[in-house]
Amino acid sequence: MSAAQPKARRRFPGLNAAVLQHPYDRAALGALQRVPGLDLVVRKFIELFPERVAYILNTATESKQTGAFIASVEVLYHRYQEASY
């Protein structure tokens, strides 16, 4: 199996997902599901602002660069400029 292929998922046929939810979470989800049209609004919102974009933005803002990293990028940039002339 190559590194790019995910491992096969383990199945737990006797496990109910609701058991893992907190009772307050289940109650809040039930209340939200009773609001008419909310599922359509949420679905459209996700179409316009995909969760993946939010993940990428969050990852980008949380990455930290040190001075040494920035200096090494500047050195590479200057080498590129010299090589291109």
Q: How confident is the model at residue 82 (pLDDT cuts 50, 70, 90)?
A: confident
Other C-beta atoms closer than 10 Å to the C-beta of 58 total 10
Give me the mean pLDDT over the 18-27 stretch.
90
pLDDT at residue 27, rounded to an integer: 92
Q: Is 30 exposed, middle or buried (0-12, 13-18, 19+ CB in 10 A)?
A: exposed
pLDDT at residue 12, rounded to an integer: 83
Q: Tell me the per-residue pLDDT of 58-74, one tens digit each, with 9 for 90 and over.
A: 887 777 777 788 888 88
